[in-house]
Amino acid sequence: MTLLEKILAAHSKYDVVQPGEIVDIEIDSRVARDFGGANVVKNIRDFGLTIHDPDKTLFTFDCNPTGSDQKYAVNQHICRLFAREQGIKVYDIDAGIGTHILIEEGYVFPGATAVSTDSHANILGAVGAFGQGMGDMDIAAAWHKGKVWFKIPPSVRINFEGKIPDDVSSKDIVLNLLKIFGANSLLGYSIEMYGPSVDNLSLDDRITISSMATEMGAIIILFPPTQEITDYCQKRSKIRFIPLYADKDAFYEKTFDIEVTKFRPMVSRPGEPHDTVNVTEVYGKKIDSAFIGSCTNGRMNDMQKVAAILKNRKVAPGVVLKIVPATDAIWKQCLNEGLIDIFKRAGALVSNAGCAGCAAGQVGQNGAGEVTISTGNRNFPGKQGKGSVYLASPEVVTASAIAGYITTPDNIPEEPSLFIKPEKQLETEKKVPQKVTADKKKSAIEGRIWLIQKDNIDTDMIFHNRYLATTDILEMGQYTFDNLKGFEDFSKKAKPGDIIISGKNFGCGSSRQQAVDCFSALGIRAIMAESFGAIYERNAINAAFPIITCKSLPGMDLKDGDKIKVNLKSGEIENLRDKKVYAAEPFSDVQFEVYQKGGLLSK
């Protein structure tokens, strides 16, 4: 078995598991954040569920650690009250990013399993553990049962050959991988990393690379643990463990040998994390702001690199540099080592530990027309604000903040670039809530189609993060696709019973359940796509919302407004206009059972 198969088999009732099998997995750590946490509590209460094991159940408040948004503050307190009632541990607004805390505090270790409402829970692959982001229904089920169902994914092996160049950081490594594989060529795979240069990567390096598995469409990027990482985790773990490794004869569906000597410092251009280019191609681009942090690059090693470049220098006039350590322990170490003083003398804003720019409620957001260079993991339109976001390593971001334009540490000018005139800002339009009814019990459905012929439609395009505090499903419909160019008025034009037809990797990105529920609020009957983001697929299945995978969509003769009939059990699709019949993937037994029940948590 591969490393992932070994971990999942060890947490199931089976000795051996294989790709495609659906098995119940015991979960060692079950986590809800401040976004999604209130919905988990609501599900627990609404369905009269109990908590399986409070010692393995956690809240981590990392999306809005400043408590600067009223709805977030309300939701956080809902979680606190529930935690007091149930004896659940809360890592509150002073603690930092939940996935990092799981490693620091010993909840997760090589061979362990964890789920969270964080779509980057697969970051735990950095220590050879299984982590997965899931929606609030899945998390509620895990809290109640101690386990969740999971479809064993196929595995891919990536071998690094050669020596990584000295000027290539861990962030550059993953941006080079995105350049090679894009956002969906490894969709739904578990990736394992091997090679001498992989063995030499530090824990911080591995965390950076694993954190962007989601942006590659992968289930997880797993690193076999070295002795150093095993020792680190053993010192923190509350239990003794034996790390797991892939069998020598493990089967991988694909194997890639990659010559890392060719890797170069990279930058992702605004809009798509996988739109990566050599940093020289965007050299000189004027910036308004810079952000250093997130679960990808808020580690101590990152902070030390930033301080080394910033020392005795100043941030360019008019440029805002925001620095957010990943955890409070890292923040305190920065303080003890004098790094905070260096940051402040340079003119940076330093915030308390947390997710920062990836969440709508904390420092790191930008405005319309603003150009930001960021160490974050995502730069989808609207993800970090209404401006443009370039992704890069901490070294490139720091050098650019000093220069006032995108550059590298070895090419920082003596005099920074100055602004000539300000950018204009745009106004947003408010939507009106709409109600809907939809029958989710029929095995055959039909409706008018919307052709949205785009790949990689992410959850921020579907349901933007500024609306995440919304918990009433009936309020969610108004925000559907208001961040998808060309479909901003979708909620006004859509009718109950409509079916959406889209491309590859629909629903990639965050783990938010709202990106499914908003369609239910409008009465959308189903979504058909060539493929779906892994977390989105789970959320839709668990909400009894029909999603249909159809790899042959590009060859189908469909027109906007056509009416189609879909048999969910057989996968047969009929275009009622010309009576042509096509084939899609039928519902699995699990999907159809949940669909018939009306949802994962329904009895």
Look at residue 67 in the predicted model and tell me its pLDDT.
66
Q: How far is residue 84 CA from its own chain's centroid?
A: 29
Give the pLDDT mean for 485-501.
Answer: 95
- Res. 367: pLDDT tops 90: no
Look at residue 360 in the predicted model and tell me its pLDDT.
55
Interval 503-525: pLDDT, tens? 999 999 888 899 999 999 999 99
How confident is residue 386, by pLDDT bands cut at 50, 70 and 90? Answer: confident
Look at residue 503 in the predicted model and tell me its pLDDT.
95
What percent of the chain lies above the pLDDT cut of 90?
A: 82
- Pairing state of beta strands 130-133 and 113-116? parallel
Look at residue 439 in the predicted model and tell me its pLDDT.
47
Torsions phi, psi for 403 (to 5 deg): -75, -30
Q: Using CA atoms in the order 450, 454, 456, 460, what is the torsion angle rounded to 10 degrees?
A: -60
Which tokens go with 184?
Answer: 């969906």
Give the pLDDT mean for 373-380.
Answer: 88
What is the C-alpha to C-alpha distance for residues 61 and 362, in angstroms, rounded to an integer? 12
Look at residue 424 in the predicted model and tell me its pLDDT.
58
Q: Using CA atoms in the order 159, 165, 170, 173, what is the torsion angle rounded to 10 degrees?
A: -50
Q: How far is residue 33 CA from its own chain's centroid?
A: 13
Look at residue 427 in the predicted model and tell me its pLDDT.
52
Where is pLDDT greater, at 307 or 443? 307
Interval 397-435: pLDDT, tens? 999 999 999 999 999 999 998 888 655 554 544 444 443
Which regions of 108-245 does DSSP assign to beta strands (E)?
113-116, 130-133, 147-151, 155-161, 190-194, 220-222
Look at residue 336 in the predicted model and tell me its pLDDT.
97
Task: Determine if residue 165 is left, alpha or beta; phi over 0 gives left, psi from -120 to 50 gives alpha, anything else beta.
Answer: beta
Look at residue 107 in the predicted model and tell me its pLDDT.
97
How confident is residue 71, by pLDDT bands cut at 50, 70 and 90? Answer: confident
Considering the chain, what is the average pLDDT of its residues?
Answer: 92
Query: Mean pLDDT: which of 72-76, 304-308, 436-440, 593-597 is highest?
Result: 304-308
- Res. 364: pLDDT tops 50: yes
Q: Are 349 and 355 in contact (CB under 8 A)?
A: no
- Res. 438: pLDDT tops 90: no
Q: Are 295 and 100 in contact (CB under 8 A)?
A: yes
Torsions phi, psi for 125 (to 5 deg): -60, -15
Interval 245-282: pLDDT, tens? 999 999 999 999 999 999 999 999 998 889 999 999 99
Residue 339 CB neighbours (<10 A): 24
Look at residue 433 in the predicted model and tell me its pLDDT.
41
Where is pLDDT greater, at 381 or 133? 133
Task: Specify the 3-state DSSP secondary structure of 319.
Answer: coil
Task: Specify the 3-state DSSP secondary structure of 230.
Answer: helix
- pTM for the full predicted model: 0.84
Task: Specify the 3-state DSSP secondary structure of 123.
Answer: helix
Give the pLDDT mean for 482-495.
Answer: 94
Look at residue 197 in the predicted model and tell me its pLDDT.
96
Domains along the chain? 3-262 (3.30.499.10), 280-411 (3.30.499.10), 444-597 (3.20.19.10)
What is the C-alpha to C-alpha distance for residues 383 and 254, in angstroms, rounded to an integer? 32
Give the pLDDT mean for 4-21.
Answer: 97
Give which of 328, 112, 343, 123 is closest to 230, Cα–Cα: 112
Residue 28 Cα distances to 13, 385, 444, angstroms: 15, 35, 39
Interval 187-218: pLDDT, tens? 999 999 999 999 999 999 999 999 999 899 99
- Res. 103: pLDDT tops 70: yes
How confident is residue 63, by pLDDT bands cut at 50, 70 and 90? Answer: confident
Give the pLDDT mean for 570-575.
Answer: 95
Look at residue 470 in the predicted model and tell me its pLDDT.
82
Where is pLDDT greater, at 39 or 67? 39
What is the C-alpha to C-alpha distance for residues 49 and 41, in angstroms, rounded to an integer? 10
Crossing angle of helices 203-210 and 300-310, in 10° steps, is 100
